Amino acid sequence: MLMSEMREGDSATVVKIGGNGALRRRIQEMGVLKGTRIQVEKYAPLKDPLELIVKGCHISLRVEEAAQIKVEVSG
């Protein structure tokens, strides 16, 4: 499933990061790496961006960026 399809409160493990070089590198620099556990904290009122918890830190991604990341949901 894509990260952009996750609901608030869902947890998942990152399986693959797509996108072009600059976008991919920026996402990885924020700590979103293959095998990393993430949790969707909440969506903004208009559903863009979404707030994630990654390794105890809160980060925000646009929905179009989150659509480049494949995850495996685990509850």
* Domains by residue range for the chain, with CATH: 3-73 (2.30.30.90)
Alpha-carbon distance of 25 to 42, in angstroms, equals 24
pLDDT recorded at residue 75: 56
Below-70 pLDDT ranges, the chain: 75
- Longest CA–CA span in the chain (Å) reads 31
**Single pTM value for the model:** 0.85
19 Rama sector, left if φ>0, alpha if ψ -120 to 50, beta otherwise: left
Distance separating alpha carbons of residues 60 and 65, to the nearest angstrom: 10
The structure tokens listed for 43 are: 């969506």
